[in-house]
Amino acid sequence: MKEKLKITSVDIYKADIEFKEPFRIAIMEILSAQSVFIKINTNEDLYGLGEANPTWGITGETQSINLAGAVDLARLLLNKDPLNIEGRMREIDRFLIHNSTLRSAFDMALYDLLGKVAELPLYAVLGGGKRSFWTDNTIGIADPDYMAKKALDYKNQGFQAIKVKLGTTTDQDIERIKKIRKAIGDDLPIRIDANQGWDYKTAVVTLQGLESMGIEYCEQPIACWDYENMRRIRQNTSIAIMADESLFDHHDAFKLASMGCCDYFNIKLAKSGGIHTALKINAIAESAGIRCMVGCMTETRLGLTAAAHVVSARPNIQYADLDGYLMLKEDPVIGGAHYNVGEINLPDTPGHGADIDPDFLKHCESTTVK
Ligand code: MG
């Protein structure tokens, strides 16, 4: 009889990739992608790959925190059945609370492995179909004229929606959108994201000032913990509100939906702790009549491909903001989601279909837990 599949070792890689330019949002500035790749190996010739791309100002994780935590989570998995994802993730989620980005890397690797065992692409493992879809492209906070120039450049490249980081003062933020609108004309939707930068009054005044400027929705106007004022902002503007930093897991989703705080959810694997909880969030959203976006941090195409499978598999996910890798100077990923400007197409290879270039890995510091 064939031996049961089990986890024999876990490789942990420190992966640093430079940005094309620094990326500023209301609460932090990011200068490079500092990822951790997780490779779960088995007693058969099959492995699963995952990526953690920590954003310290949002999830409380840094690359060094994730590298240390990864060793502990790897020990928890040794000799266990990787196909029991609910069981493995329950152990991981109970062992290490918070640290959602690190947990998501393990979750992603387990789903990749499941797809490889089933010989099915991940979207099919999730019970969904294959569809191509578009991501927007994001402009960080900068001088308004520079942001307008960048928006026009994205429009000329063929992007169908532009996301703009705001969250400073009312005057500056309105000037940014006015200049961008003037540069790109009226046909492209603009999505805005204040990343918690406003307080209640600034949010209401700024959003009311932007109502005539073709804003599709506004992400996270105020502090992540302030659900009550997010609900009040939603009542005082015609611009749709999307919860991002207020929404990590399914418990948050239930509260936000029950309180009527927002029109949309922004699901990110780095916040939910991976695909298994992302699916629970989407189910709560669907129950409450809320449609979702799947967003990203600054992952390589590996993490983005896993997220793209979730988008493809769930029709309730209406928007995608999977542009992280477009900011990177280097693409170390082989296979995976294909980007045609902003149009994303998934491969039919088993699992998520993304692998990492062995030449890139040779230059990464690594640890193996076995
Ligand atoms: Mg956001």
What does the pLDDT read at residue 1? Answer: 64
Distance 286 CA to ligand 1 centre (A): 20
Residue-wise pLDDT for 153-187, tens only, equals: 999 999 999 999 999 999 999 999 999 999 999 99
Distance 167 CA to ligand 1 centre (A): 11
What's the CA gap between 115 and 120, in Å, rounded?
5
Structure tokens at 290: 């809320």
Query: Average per-residue pLDDT in the chain?
Result: 98
- Strands 28-42 and 215-219 turn out to be unpaired
Residue-wise pLDDT for 310-324, tens only, equals: 999 999 999 999 999
What's the CA gap between 181 and 71, in Å, rounded?
48
* Phi and psi torsions of 82, nearest 5°: -75, -15
- Of 51, 93, 244, 252, catalytic: 244
**% of the chain at pLDDT higher than 70:** 100
Of 16, 37, 114, 52, nearest in space to 273 by CA: 52
What's the CA gap between 86 and 369, in Å, rounded?
22
Instruction: Judge whether 130 counts as a catalytic residue.
Output: no
**CATH architecture assigned to 124-356:** Alpha-Beta Barrel (3.20)
The answer for residues whose C-beta is within 8 angstroms of residue 217's C-beta and 6 or more apart is: 191, 192, 239, 240, 241, 242, 263, 264
Residue-wise pLDDT for 41-81, tens only, equals: 999 999 999 999 999 999 999 999 999 999 999 999 999 99
What's the CA gap between 288 and 311, in Å, rounded?
18
DSSP state of 327: G
What's the CA gap between 299 and 332, in Å, rounded?
11
Distance 268 CA to ligand 1 centre (A): 9
Distance 89 CA to ligand 1 centre (A): 25
Distance of CA 105 to the CA centre of its chain: 12
- Of 219, 299, 321, 323, catalytic: 219
What's the CA gap between 193 and 245, in Å, rounded?
11
Distance 329 CA to ligand 1 centre (A): 22
Distance 219 CA to ligand 1 centre (A): 5
Instruction: Judge whether 3 counts as a catalytic residue.
Output: no
DSSP state of 326: G
Residue for token pair 């089933």: 118
- Of 116, 150, 165, 179, catalytic: 165
Distance 221 CA to ligand 1 centre (A): 9
Structural domain boundaries of the chain?
Answer: 7-119+358-369, 124-356
What does the pLDDT read at residue 334? Answer: 98
Instruction: Judge whether 193 counts as a catalytic residue.
Output: yes
- Of 136, 268, 321, 355, catalytic: 268
Query: What is the per-residue DSSP string for 237-293?
Result: -SS-EEESTT--SHHHHHHHHHHT--SEEEE-HHHHTSHHHHHHHHHHHHHHT-EEE
Structure tokens at 318: 């209406």
Residue for token pair 């900068």: 142
Q: Provide mean pLDDT across the span 299-304.
A: 98
Q: Provide mean pLDDT across the span 120-147.
A: 98
What's the CA gap between 281 and 276, in Å, rounded?
9
Distance 245 CA to ligand 1 centre (A): 7
- Of 11, 51, 61, 193, catalytic: 193
In this structure, are residues 339 and 327 in contact, taking their beta carbons and an 8 Å threshold? no
- Domain 7-119+358-369 sits in CATH at 3.30.390.10
Distance 220 CA to ligand 1 centre (A): 6
**Cβ neighbours of 119 (radius 10 Å):** 11
Distance 164 CA to ligand 1 centre (A): 10
In this structure, are residues 12 and 369 in contact, taking their beta carbons and an 8 Å threshold? yes
Distance 244 CA to ligand 1 centre (A): 5
What does the pLDDT read at residue 3? Answer: 86
At residue 2, does pLDDT exceed 80? no
